[in-house]
Structure 1
Amino acid sequence: MLEGVFMTGWGGRIRAVVGAACLFIGVVGCGEAPQPPLTVGINTWVGFDPLVLARDRSMTDRQTIKVVELISSAEALRHLRNGLLDAAALTLDETLRLADSGFDVRIVAVLDTSSGADVVLAAPEVRSLPELRGRAIAVEEATVGTLVLERLLQKAGLTSADVSVVKMESTQHLMALRSGRVSAAVSYAPIEGAIRRAGYRRIFDSSQMPGEILDVLVVRGEVLRRRPAAVDALLNAWSGGLSVLRLDAPGAAATLAPGADLTPRDYLEVLKGLRFFAPDESLLLLTGPAPELVRLGQPVADTLMGLGLLRQPPNWAALIDSAPAERAPQSGLLP
């Protein structure tokens, strides 16, 4: 059962995660049970907020699509595996590892890419990347953090043997830096803002690894086959929320920032570190004899294999399903 949890994201947004039993409508009399809403799981991340906007501004029928907000992507992955979610917004690396485990999941949209939202911050005495040698670096127990750290070390001309990697939750990074336990931390917006304000400086960010940190929308293979209309509605919900965010970013920030424990101005700053893909751009990434997503994703897969996080190369043809995107109305959104 999907546990009922009241959660706080980034210290502010209180979200109710509704029990799975509440997602289903019972059979009345002898009639056929109506279809439950398609459930899509998201964790607290600005890049997934178009779905929050679509829900909160009633841009989608709640009997068709139910947005379930969870504490972490690990929860989203667990509930997806257990059949309690039909779809989820995940990072590409998480998706690759999920598919590598044998789970039948398909990418139906590319949502956004981090272009500076993921960062490495260091103590003032670290004046250059090579000076990280022999020092401790904090990183979350998450694939994205591992990927950013790997690219940082490559740029510094170091290997993991040259540093001490300390796994800890991102909320503990500032305390670890202040205590001297670590000299640097792999973080992300908006958490990194508090670290910067405490005097630690950015020495590396995801703008230096373009296209490698991608968020995608995935759907379970069985759901994609059985409920194509609901999947289409999900893509339309994302597109509608994204349109609101792009056409009225200040208004959207005013709505969403308090829940993210940010000021509207800080929320808009976080958005600068993300690049969202319009529906037509996402479609281009998913289609063609050699989809652009494969070109962007293969280096990520190669790195994950080198780190022992993937057992075999991805089967991109089985992983990508562009049919829902091809059915969706395309719109040129504002840049």
Structure 2
Amino acid sequence: MMTTRRFLAKITAGFVAATMLAGSFTLPAMAAPKKEFKLAWSIYVGWMPWQYAAEQGIVKKWADKYGIKIDVVQFNDYVESVNQYTAGAFDAVTVTNMDALSIPAAGGVDSTAVIVGDFSNGNDAVMLKGKDKLADIKGQKVNLVEFSVSHYLLARALESVKMTEAKDIKVVSTSDADLVAAWSTPDVTAVVTWNPLVAEILKSPDAKKVFDSSQIPGEIIDLAVANSAVLKDNPNFGKALAGIWYETMALMSAKDAAGTAARTAMGKASGTDLAGYEAQLAATRMFYKADEALAFVRGPEPKATMKKVAGFLFDHGLLGNGAPSAEAVGIAFPDGSTYGDAKNVKFRFTDSFMAAAAEGKL
């Protein structure tokens, strides 16, 4: 199986200009009440529930409750799904916290995280060939998908041993499709990637995992975000998304035949089997219950994480051309606080819809 969640597209002025000229660039003021909505998603362990919910009629059930229609559309290319959302072709998208900031938010599209679904808790890892200490990475070429969450994980790993990308290693941008094969070549001695590629590489006797995302818990977050103006004018869309999500969470987490069947179907749809899918779930902190997601999003972790993420993006030129600092784009949190430019808030964490789910008010 090839998970496609983890690429990070580098926003350029050309992309933004092209979409604006095409008339499809979504600005908050353009939103209006409507009845039909589209959510884009791509294959990843924490996003498979969207497809299952659509196939099982759960999406239709909740859309019907609110008198709307929701079309759940799969993309094989994660970057394209986020770009299409940014261009206004979709009302919502499954995306990581880092990409939500660097792509739509940095591109000027105000977005709100409706669902905080999970965070990586070991799914992403740094691996060395024949070396078992992270410090041994010094002086090596490191193969990874450049500007992805793997790149961010590497930066955080280096920070933990007082190294930097600029001084101590050299990044070699490599497609995820090529990483396993690259590992088998003598020239490749360090790789950063995500499951199931991590599991494949670790089958090699010379592969040693020296750092993983469980060491930076809560920093690689998987979300369902919606256009903020669309959400403001159509709150029933957000309510329906929350209803869909938590009904599916309850089903897939159940320790019964129905839960096993759901996880089996999600594994098969993502290109693996039940055992493979459950292995990925084991390295993912899923928020199966709304109150668990609420505790996380209302806690200190998202604020600290987004400050680190913004710093990484700024250092790599990913907050838009001409961004003066890591605080160029404002990020709002459920308690009303803001990181970055309070006059340019383009990414928001809300607890409204998850709270409604937790309180049985959907």
| TM-score when normalising by structure 2 | 0.75
The residue type equivalent to 1:177 in the other structure is: W
Q: Deviations over 1:179-223 (max 9, x none)?
A: 123211111111222211233232211001111111122101221
- Does structure 2 conserve the Cα–Cα contact (< 8 Å) formed by 1:135 and 1:182? no
Three-state SS of the structure 2 residue aligned to 1:219 is: strand
| Correspondence 1:275-286 to 2 at 5 A | 275-277=285-287, 278-286=289-297
- Does structure 2 conserve the Cα–Cα contact (< 8 Å) formed by 1:114 and 1:211? yes
Three-state SS of the structure 2 residue aligned to 1:10 is: coil
Instruction: Specify the alignment match of 2:2 in structure 1.
Output: 10
Instruction: Specify the alignment match of 1:228 in structure 2.
Output: 235
Three-state SS of the structure 2 residue aligned to 1:316 is: strand
In the alignment, the residues of structure 2 paired with residue 149 and residue 84 of structure 1 have an alpha-carbon distance, to the nearest angstrom, of 33
In the alignment, the residues of structure 2 paired with residue 320 and residue 330 of structure 1 have an alpha-carbon distance, to the nearest angstrom, of 19
In the alignment, the residues of structure 2 paired with residue 122 and residue 53 of structure 1 have an alpha-carbon distance, to the nearest angstrom, of 36
CA RMSD of superposed structures (Å) = 2.3
Aligned-pair distance for 1:295?
3.5
- Does structure 2 conserve the Cα–Cα contact (< 8 Å) formed by 1:130 and 1:157? no
In the alignment, the residues of structure 2 paired with residue 142 and residue 111 of structure 1 have an alpha-carbon distance, to the nearest angstrom, of 22
Deviates more, 1:39-48 or 1:259-268: 259-268
Quick one: structure 1 residues 295 and 162, their matched pair in 2 at CA, closer, same or farther if it must change by over 3 Å?
closer
Instruction: Specify the alignment match of 2:357 in structure 1.
Output: 328
Instruction: Specify the alignment match of 1:30 in structure 2.
Output: none
Instruction: Specify the alignment match of 1:44 in structure 2.
Output: 43
In the alignment, the residues of structure 2 paired with residue 265 and residue 327 of structure 1 have an alpha-carbon distance, to the nearest angstrom, of 33
| Correspondence 1:81-100 to 2 at 5 A | 81-97=86-102, 98-100=104-106
Aligned-pair distance for 1:60?
1.9
Match of 2:168 among 155, 162, 167: 162
| Correspondence 1:48-67 to 2 at 5 A | 48-61=47-60, 64-67=69-72
1:201 matches 2:230: no
Instruction: Specify the alignment match of 1:186 in structure 2.
Output: 192
Match of 1:129 among 126, 134, 140: 134
| TM-score when normalising by structure 1 | 0.81
In the alignment, the residues of structure 2 paired with residue 132 and residue 150 of structure 1 have an alpha-carbon distance, to the nearest angstrom, of 12
- Does structure 1 conserve the Cα–Cα contact (< 8 Å) formed by 2:132 and 2:208? no
Three-state SS of the structure 2 residue aligned to 1:175 is: helix
- Does structure 2 conserve the Cα–Cα contact (< 8 Å) formed by 1:140 and 1:169? yes
Instruction: Specify the alignment match of 1:243 in structure 2.
Output: 250
Three-state SS of the structure 2 residue aligned to 1:238 is: helix
In the alignment, the residues of structure 2 paired with residue 129 and residue 107 of structure 1 have an alpha-carbon distance, to the nearest angstrom, of 34
| Correspondence 1:312-323 to 2 at 5 A | 312-313=326-327, 314-317=329-332, 318=345, 319-323=348-352
Quick one: structure 1 residues 227 and 114, their matched pair in 2 at CA, closer, same or farther if it must change by over 3 Å?
same
Three-state SS of the structure 2 residue aligned to 1:201 is: strand
Match of 2:318 among 309, 316, 321: 309
Three-state SS of the structure 2 residue aligned to 1:179 is: coil
The residue type equivalent to 1:254 in the other structure is: T
Instruction: Specify the alignment match of 2:267 in structure 1.
Output: 257
Aligned-pair distance for 1:282?
2.4
Instruction: Specify the alignment match of 2:116 in structure 1.
Output: 110
Structure 2 spans left out of the alignment, 5+ residues:
4-32, 333-344
- Does structure 2 conserve the Cα–Cα contact (< 8 Å) formed by 1:52 and 1:241? no
Instruction: Specify the alignment match of 2:309 in structure 1.
Output: 300
Aligned-pair distance for 1:70?
0.8
Identical counterparts, % of pairs? 26
Aligned-pair distance for 1:74?
0.8
Instruction: Specify the alignment match of 2:180 in structure 1.
Output: 174
Q: Deviations over 1:31-71 (max 9, x none)?
A: xxx95532111111011112122112111217622211112
In the alignment, the residues of structure 2 paired with residue 206 and residue 325 of structure 1 have an alpha-carbon distance, to the nearest angstrom, of 25
Three-state SS of the structure 1 residue aligned to 2:47 is: helix
In the alignment, the residues of structure 2 paired with residue 76 and residue 54 of structure 1 have an alpha-carbon distance, to the nearest angstrom, of 19
Aligned-pair distance for 1:147?
0.7
Report the count of equivalent residues: 298
